[in-house]
């Protein structure tokens, strides 16, 4: 009689503080045993010799566009892309879909679609926008992972930015719910003022100049001031400057409940990439200088950045098919490459692999209340695993992209490692089977 459902055999298992060679036994979707050698049998076995086994990645910042804009990205293609990139849980942002996730009704509609189509687990962000302040408590009770607001223009009429009054009132209402507020932090005053100054310009340098580092730093400082008054927990998304990291860390040391993420594109690409690749590399905040990138990487190495998320922001190809950097859609399609990008940094800077697992899994799990089930390879946790060949190079091509629209700033890049297999609660979700079983993703609701 088989003792387990699955045993992953003799992989290099990336644990919280070390890497060990051993076996992982899985039963009923959970990790039942981690041991140097498990003698019992299983219904199926996975040979992981020569591979590293990481906990499944948790990407807390992804933009799928269902319902309403499935032709940009939907749950089916987006989740398949995440699985191909070693991500077993993602959190979908509240904008870009129609309707935006700013009411309980919209939340439940989106959740129903995700349950039907997502191959991996997912959480859903709610939104803070002008006019929905009285919806926040109900959204929290309905299970949103947190709330998202913009301090700068969104370019999306369905999801407008929160001015100072809306932001402050929203933070007052969010604080007692136990959820946190995620902020896109760029100063509207600076961005709007500089866009007028650059009117008529279309080049990469002008776009970058219209959203300077100071726009991020000022907005971060303002949000911290509001949080000190309201006691609202904050999570700063896609931070691109070391100065903003320093200010957030200072607030944390003063007792503020605050975390931050950066994204792989700020760690791998620079403003020169925007000039070279054009609109595919346009995002907001924009890619920074090489000098700023070096400082951001050092902040990461120093332990001052909590986690790394993709900010996967897809769109149809024609929205990038322009030389006008102001008119092009702002967002990088990169959810499939977060794990590989961070492993690239590990190789370049000799970063211990448990730190990679912390940035991509443990820290997100801890921050968002999932540490009792996800984020770490340990007995009792969900059997969410990623098998990585650290010596097999992987070149990004249109043919191996899993997102709906096959274009990305990462196209042509060769990584030093490859994702070989992704397992969600004991089931292989990548590579995709020829005759896949029923979709397995669950909606993760915070209570």
Q: What is the pLDDT of residue 66?
A: 93
Residues 6+ apart with CB under 8 A from 440: 119, 120, 424, 425, 427, 429
Evaluate whether the domain defined by 56-367 bears CATH number 3.20.20.140.
yes
Per-residue pLDDT, 214: 98
pLDDT of residue 435: 46
pLDDT of residue 157: 85
Residue 354 to residues 343, 351, 360, 362, Cα–Cα distance (Å):
11, 9, 10, 9
Q: Which CATH architecture has domain 4-53+380-430?
A: Roll (2.30)
**pLDDT recorded at residue 49:** 97
Rg (CA), the chain: 21
What pLDDT tens digit does each residue of the chain (447 aa) get?
A: 578 999 999 999 999 999 999 999 999 999 999 999 999 999 999 999 999 999 999 999 999 999 999 999 999 999 999 999 999 999 999 999 999 999 999 999 999 999 999 999 999 999 999 999 999 999 999 999 999 999 998 888 889 999 999 999 999 999 999 999 999 999 999 999 999 999 999 999 999 999 999 999 999 999 999 999 999 999 999 999 999 999 999 999 999 999 999 999 999 999 999 999 999 999 999 999 999 999 999 999 999 999 999 999 999 999 999 999 999 999 999 999 999 999 999 999 999 999 999 999 999 999 999 999 999 999 999 999 999 999 999 999 999 999 999 999 999 999 999 999 999 999 999 997 644 555 579 999 987
Pairing state between β 385-389 and 52-55: antiparallel
Distance between CA 389 and CA 416 in Å, rounded?
9
pLDDT at 167: 97
**pLDDT score of 433:** 64
Q: How many Cβ atoms are within 10 Å of 21's Cβ, its own excluded?
A: 13
d(CA 210, CA 21): 50
Query: What does the domain layout of the chain look like in residue ranges?
Result: 4-53+380-430, 56-367
Rounded distance, CA 258 to CA 14, Å?
27
C-alpha–C-alpha distance, residues 131 and 441, integer Å: 32
């Amino acid at each position: 009689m088989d003792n387990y459902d699955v045993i992953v055999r003799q992989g290099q298992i990336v644990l919280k503080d070390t890497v060990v060679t051993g076996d992982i036994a899985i039963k009923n979707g959970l990790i039942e045993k981690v041991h140097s050698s498990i003698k019992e049998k299983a219904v199926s076995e996975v040979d992981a010799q020569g591979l590293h086994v990481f906990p499944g990645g948790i990407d807390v910042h992804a933009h799928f566009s269902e319902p309403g804009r499935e032709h940009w990205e939907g749950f089916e293609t987006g989740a398949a892309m995440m699985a191909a990139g070693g991500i077993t849980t993602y959190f979908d942002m509240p904008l870009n879909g129609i309707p935006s996730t700013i009411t309980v009704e919209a939340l439940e509609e989106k959740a129903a679609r995700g349950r039907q189509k997502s191959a991996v687990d997912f959480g859903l962000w709610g939104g803070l926008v002008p006019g929905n302040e009285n919806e926040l408590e109900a959204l929290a009770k309905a299970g949103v992972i947190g709330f998202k607001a913009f301090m700068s223009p969104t370019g999306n009429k369905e999801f407008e930015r929160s001015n100072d009054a809306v932001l402050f009132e929203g933070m007052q209402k969010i604080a007692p719910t136990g959820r946190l507020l995620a902020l896109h932090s760029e100063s509207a005053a600076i961005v709007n003022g500089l866009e007028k100054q650059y009117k008529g310009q279309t080049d990469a340098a002008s776009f970058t100049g219209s959203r300077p580092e100071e726009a991020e730093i000022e907005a971060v400082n303002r949000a911290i001031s509001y949080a000190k008054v309201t006691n609202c927990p904050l999570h700063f998304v896609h931070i691109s400057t070391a100065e903003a990291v320093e200010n957030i860390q200072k607030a944390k040391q003063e007792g503020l409940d605050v975390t931050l993420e950066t994204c792989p594109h700020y760690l791998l690409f620079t403003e020169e990439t925007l000039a070279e690749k054009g609109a595919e590399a346009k995002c907001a905040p924009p890619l920074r200088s090489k000098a700023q990138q070096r400082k951001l990487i050092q902040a990461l190495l120093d332990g001052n950045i909590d986690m790394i998320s993709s900010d996967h922001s897809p769109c149809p190809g024609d929205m990038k098919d322009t030389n006008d950097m102001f008119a092009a859609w702002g967002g990088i399609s990169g959810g499939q490459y977060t794990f590989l990008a961070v492993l690239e940094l590990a190789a370049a800077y000799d970063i211990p692999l448990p730190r990679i697992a912390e940035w991509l899994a443990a820290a997100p799990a801890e921050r968002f209340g999932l540490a009792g089930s996800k984020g770490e390879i340990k007995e009792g946790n969900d059997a969410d695993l990623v098998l990585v060949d650290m010596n097999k190079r992987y070149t990004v091509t249109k043919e191996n992209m899993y997102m709906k629209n096959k274009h990305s700033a990462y196209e042509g890049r060769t990584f030093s490692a490859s994702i070989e297999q992704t397992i969600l609660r004991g089931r292989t979700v990548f590579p995709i089977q020829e005759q896949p079983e029923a979709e397995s993703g669950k909606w993760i609701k915070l209570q």
